[in-house]
Every structure is written in structure tokens, then in C-alpha cells.
């Protein structure tokens, strides 16, 4: 395992003919192996851009993102990604979606089936193995997407508002399931979210960003074991504090 | 529930929908035949036979063959046209689809070829018929005319299909370790498929327009288009219209088939 992430001097600038948008400016962050980092920030602050830079889907303007001696300049199977809108392949069944990464790696069919059976069971999808994607509910789709990202055993999992498209109830269920899943894996997770509640519920550390260009406003350690009690006074107090900080960011426009 | 003359129509009932569909087809065709009949009576011209005369001739044609050509079977004409058509389709398909995928993938290639394609595309495919048939030969010529007709709608739809790809899907494939060539054939090709089929559907229609015209320049090929024009020259009008029925039937069969494949693909992808 080499799940640590080191971000040094990261800047991302979008240039068009007559304008320049600085999405991220001189950003530094060290993420430890096996850590769950939640990144929260005002809308449009560059959270997703940051995640896409780590994934290697965006070219960085300056700076280096690396893990040990490995520099992340291109996407790779060492970093799995879960998208907000699931990004499942609609022409593939649930099983074939989950097996995609294994297929790419050239794993023989029997082995693929063995592994996908395991992940189908893990995510409670066994009964839906041969279903088409469009037959599933939003929560089910995101389970498929998570299974697809987990199956190749990436050291790092990047989640871009994975529960953002789900209704509140499904969202809570998925958060609980992610907590259970976390106990079984030692992967590093970088989790982008709109929801401070979700961040406090899940994360080891919460990185609070400023409005664009994204800089770190504060890093909050959340020392409590999971699963956490949303109704506890510490929980609500921490949530309120971070929310206030974000509101200040939003009104400073 | 909608009340139609005392009948409670429920659009969620499969049988009700089927009955509705069948009734619509019957009424539509019946109206068409009625209109035809009225026009032929009003015109009172030998060039517009009544539907009944046409039907009698159609049945006779199938039974006795082409009496103006020693009773040659019309199935031979149909077969010849169908062969030309399918060959033209095959030529268009094997060129337009890979080219469309490539042009959809590469903006550079697209920009490079766009001016040339835009110059050629508006030329009516039928304009190529005398050129290709007289300069090559009467077998290959019509095939190429059909191919040109099918080529452009198929090409533009395929390019469009590749460009319409959800960027999240290619991103997801990249993060799962897919190399560019794997992204191409595991993501781009399947996701463009419904658009390719749409191009096939449009192309088939254009193809049938082309083949009948092309056959006029290739009498020795013995296709249904040639039969039609010869009958018209000789003034056997009911035969002309009987030939039209055959042409319509062939068009229905091919577009129906394409429609069916398109439906299967889009249903599987949840695109309905």
C-alpha cells in the first residue's frame, strides 16, 4: 500500500482567449495513508477541480501531486474514482460494469466472475447482477459505482459528491454503509461534499476551503470513532462551527 | 382513461394500446386508398388506375410474371434491386461507421475533412448515377450510388454520436486504467451505437430513393426501377403502380428491421 498523497504548490488556471480563471492557487496538503479526508467549501470553489487534479483527469498548471516517489500526472488504476452522477456504462449490466477495471487489466473471465461475485455480495447487489443500469434506483447505481472503483484495489479512492444526487434517506443509508465498508479496507479516501453534516459524520479530517481560488481555510480533526451520533452535542457544535465558517466565506463575495 | 365512443381506453393496458395501434393503421391505410380512389375517378385518366385495378395487376404480376418480358418473375427484379441495395448499404456501412468514429474522436481530423465533406454532401446522390454507371459499369455503378446516398447520413450521425459521449464515462474509464484504444472500443463505440443506428434508419430511406433512380440508368441490371420505367414507357399503368407497391414493401422491410434493432439497443441502454 502506498495511499499517502502529497500536494505541493498546486495551482490550476483555466485560460480562454480573453479570460483567466484561477481555480486553485498554491495549494498544499498532506494526506496520510488510510485516512478519510472530507473536503468542504463554498459552491464553485474548486473542490471538484482539486479532486480531478489528484485523479490525473486535469492537467495541473503548477505544482506536484505525488504518492511516495510516484507523481500523479495521468489517471491510473491506483486511484479509483466515484462520480456524483455515477458514470455507469448504460450498455453494460451491473456485473459487467463492476468488472470493467478487471477487463481492462486483462483478467481472465472466471477470475473476474469470482471477484465480481464478492463485490456484488459486499454491496448487496447480488440479486441485480444481470440487471441493466437503468433499472436501478439512484442508491443502487452508486453502489455499483463504488463496487466498480473498489474491485481493482486502488490505494486511493476519490469520491466527488458521491451521495449528492441521492435523496436524504438514501444518503444516510449510504453513509452508514460507507462507514461499515471503511472498517474492512485500509484505503485512503478523499471525499468531496456539499454537506458539512456528511463530512462530520464520515471524515478523519475535514479540509475547509475558501471561495475561489481554493485555499485551505482550516483543517478540522474529527477524533471520534465511527459510527458517530449525529445528535450528540459535540457533533452538532462542530457542524455548526464549520457551517458558520462556510457562510462567512459565501457572504464575503 | 379516455372515453372513445363509449369505449374506455386505458393507455396503460398493453392490449388496449395494441388495438389502438392496429385500428390506426387500418384507418390510415383505408383513408389513403379511399383518397386514391377518388383522385383516380376524378382524373379519369389511364395513368391513374384505381386501387382495385392496381391490386388485380399486382396479383397477376406475382402469379404470371412480367408478360412484357416472356413472363419473367418479378421476384427476379425484386431480388436484383435488393442485392444492389444491400451491397450499397454494406459499402456505405464499412466506410462511414469507422470514419465517423474516427472523425468524432479527433477534432483535428474533423476540422481537416469538414470542408471537403460539406462540399460533397449537398450534391444529390442521384447526380452521381449517370456518372458512375456510365464511367464504371452498370453493376458497380448503382451500388455506389446507393452507397453515396446512405454514406452521408450515416457518417454525420456517427460523428454526432461520438461527440455526444458523456465525458464522465470516458473519465470513469480512464480512472479504471483504460488506455486510449480501450476507451475507443469499450466506451466510444458502444455509446455511439444508438446514433449509428439512427444514421442507418435515415440512410435506408435515402438509399431507396437512390436505387430506383440509379436503375433507370442501368436497364440491363433488371431491377424493379427499370421494370417500373419500362412499364411506364409502354403505358401499362397498373403495372407501374404494382411496382410501386413492391418498392414500398421492400422499403418497409428494411426500415422495419433497422427500427427493430434500434429499439433493442436503446431499450438495453435505457434511452427510451
- Give the pLDDT confidence score for residue A25 in this predicted structure: 86
Judge contact between B186 and B125, C-beta under 8 A. Answer: no
In this predicted structure, the answer to whether residue A1 has a pLDDT above a threshold of 60 is no
Model ipTM value: 0.88
What is the reported pTM? 0.81
CA B123 to chain centre: 19
Q: What's the pLDDT at B1? A: 61
E strand map for A149-241: 156-160, 188-192, 205-209, 216-221
Band of the pLDDT at A253, cuts 50, 70, 90? very low
**In chain B, which residue's Cα lies nearest the Cα of A86?**
B168
pLDDT for residue A235: 86
Which residues from chain A sit within 8 angstroms of residue B186, using beta carbons?
100, 103-104
Shortest CB distance from B172 goes to which of A76, A81, A135? A81
Over its length of 272 residues, how does chain B's per-residue pLDDT go in tens digits?
677 777 777 778 888 888 888 999 999 999 999 999 999 999 888 888 999 999 999 999 989 888 888 878 889 999 999 999 999 999 999 999 999 999 998 899 999 999 999 999 999 999 999 999 999 988 899 999 999 999 999 999 999 999 999 999 999 999 999 999 999 989 999 999 999 999 999 999 999 989 988 998 888 888 899 999 999 999 889 999 999 999 999 999 999 999 999 988 888 777 65
Q: What is the pLDDT of residues B27-36, one digit of tens each?
A: 999 999 999 9
Select from B265, B98, B262, B260 the least CA-distant residue to B190: B265
Please state the separation of Cα A137 from the chain's center in Å: 20
What are the tens digits of pLDDT across the range B57-105?
A: 999 998 988 888 887 888 999 999 999 999 999 999 999 999 999 999 8
Instruction: Kindly report the backbone phi and psi dihedral angles of residue B267, in degrees, each rounded to the nearest multiple of 5, phi listed first.
Output: -65, -40
Partners of A191 in the β-ladder: A38, A159
Mean pLDDT across A215-222: 86
In terms of Cα–Cα distance, which of A60, A20, A25, A22 is closest to A215?
A25
Q: How far is B124 from B145, CA to CA, in rounded Å?
A: 10
Q: Report chain A's mean pLDDT, rounded to a whole number.
A: 87
Q: How many helices and strands, by DSSP H and E, does chain A display?
A: 8, 10
In chain A, residues with a C-beta closer than 8 Å to the C-beta of B169 are 87, 89
Percent of chain B with pLDDT over 90: 65
* Confidence (pLDDT) at B11: 78
Contacts of A132 (CB under 8 A, 6+ apart): A90, A93, A94, B268, B269, B270
> CA geometry: angle at A126 spanning A121 and A132, to 5°?
135
Which residues in chain A have Cβ-Cβ distances shorter than 8 Å to B171?
55, 57, 75, 81, 83, 87
> Mean pLDDT across the stretch A82-96?
92
pLDDT of the residue at A252: 53
Number of Cβ atoms within 10 Å of the Cβ of A141? 21
pLDDT confidence of residue A169: 85
Instruction: Give mean pLDDT, residues A135-163.
Output: 90
CB contact under 8 A, B269 and A101: no
Amino acid at each position: 500500500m502506498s495511499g499517502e498523497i502529497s500536494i505541493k504548490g498546486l495551482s490550476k488556471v483555466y485560460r480562454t482567449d480573453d479570460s483567466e480563471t484561477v481555480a486553485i492557487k498554491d495549494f498544499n496538503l498532506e494526506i496520510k495513508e488510510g485516512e478519510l479526508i472530507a473536503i468542504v467549501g463554498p459552491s464553485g470553489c474548486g473542490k471538484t477541480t482539486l479532486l480531478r487534479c489528484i485523479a490525473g483527469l486535469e492537467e495541473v498548471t503548477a505544482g506536484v501531486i505525488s504518492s511516495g516517489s510516484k507523481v500523479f500526472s495521468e489517471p491510473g488504476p491506483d486511484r479509483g474514482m466515484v462520480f456524483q452522477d455515477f458514470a455507469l456504462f448504460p450498455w453494460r449490466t451491473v456485473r459487467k460494469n463492476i468488472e470493467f477495471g478487471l477487463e481492462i487489466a486483462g483478467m481472465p473471465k472466471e477470475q473476474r466472475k469470482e471477484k465480481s461475485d464478492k463485490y456484488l455480495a459486499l454491496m448487496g447487489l447480488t440479486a441485480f447482477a444481470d440487471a441493466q443500469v437503468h433499472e436501478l434506483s439512484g442508491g443502487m447505481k452508486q453502489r455499483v459505482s463504488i463496487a466498480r472503483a473498489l474491485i481493482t484495489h486502488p490505494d486511493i479512492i476519490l469520491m466527488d459528491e458521491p451521495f449528492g444526487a441521492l435523496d436524504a434517506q438514501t444518503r444516510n443509508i449510504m453513509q452508514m454503509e460507507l462507514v461499515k465498508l471503511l472498517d474492512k479496507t485500509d484505503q485512503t479516501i478523499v471525499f468531496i461534499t456539499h454537506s458539512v453534516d456528511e463530512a462530520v459524520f464520515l471524515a478523519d479530517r475535514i479540509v475547509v476551503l475558501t471561495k475561489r481560488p481554493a485555499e485551505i481555510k482550516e483543517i478540522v480533526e474529527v477524533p471520534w470513532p465511527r459510527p458517530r451520533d449525529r445528535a450528540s452535542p459535540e457533533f452538532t457544535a462542530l457542524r455548526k462551527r464549520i457551517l458558520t465558517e462556510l457562510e462567512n466565506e459565501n457572504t464575503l463575495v | 382513461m379516455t372515453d372513445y365512443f363509449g369505449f374506455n381506453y386505458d393507455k396503460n393496458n398493453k392490449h388496449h394500446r395494441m388495438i389502438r395501434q392496429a385500428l390506426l393503421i387500418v384507418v390510415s391505410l383505408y383513408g389513403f386508398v379511399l383518397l386514391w380512389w377518388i383522385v383516380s375517378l376524378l382524373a379519369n385518366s389511364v395513368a391513374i388506375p384505381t386501387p382495385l385495378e392496381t391490386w388485380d395487376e399486382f396479383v397477376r404480376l406475382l402469379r404470371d410474371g412480367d408478360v412484357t418480358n416472356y413472363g419473367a418473375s418479378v421476384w427476379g427484379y425484386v431480388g436484383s434491386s435488393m442485392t444492389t441495395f444491400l451491397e450499397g448499404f454494406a459499402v456505405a456501412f464499412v466506410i462511414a461507421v469507422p470514419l465517423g468514429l474516427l472523425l468524432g474522436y479527433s477534432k483535428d481530423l474533423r476540422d481537416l475533412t469538414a470542408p471537403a465533406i460539406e462540399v460533397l454532401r449537398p450534391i444529390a446522390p442521384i447526380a452521381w448515377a449517370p456518372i458512375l454507371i456510365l464511367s464504371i459499369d452498370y453493376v458497380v455503378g448503382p451500388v455506389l450510388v446507393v452507397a453515396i446516398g446512405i454514406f452521408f447520413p450515416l457518417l454525420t450521425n456517427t460523428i454526432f454520436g461520438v461527440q455526444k459521449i458523456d465525458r464522465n464515462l470516458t473519465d470513469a474509464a480512464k480512472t479504471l486504467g483504460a488506455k486510449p484504444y480501450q476507451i475507443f472500443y469499450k466506451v466510444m463505440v458502444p455509446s455511439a451505437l444508438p446514433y449509428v443506428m439512427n444514421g442507418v434508419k435515415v440512410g435506408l430511406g435515402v438509399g431507396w430513393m437512390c436505387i430506383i433512380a440509379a436503375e433507370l440508368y442501368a436497364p440491363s441490371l433488371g431491377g424493379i426501377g427499370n421494370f417500373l420505367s419500362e412499364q411506364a414507357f409502354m403505358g401499362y399503368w397498373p403495372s407501374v403502380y404494382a411496382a410501386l407497391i413492391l418498392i414500398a414493401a421492400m422499403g418497409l422491410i428494411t426500415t422495419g428491421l433497422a427500427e427493430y434493432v434500434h429499439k433493442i439497443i436503446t431499450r438495453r441502454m435505457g434511452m427510451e
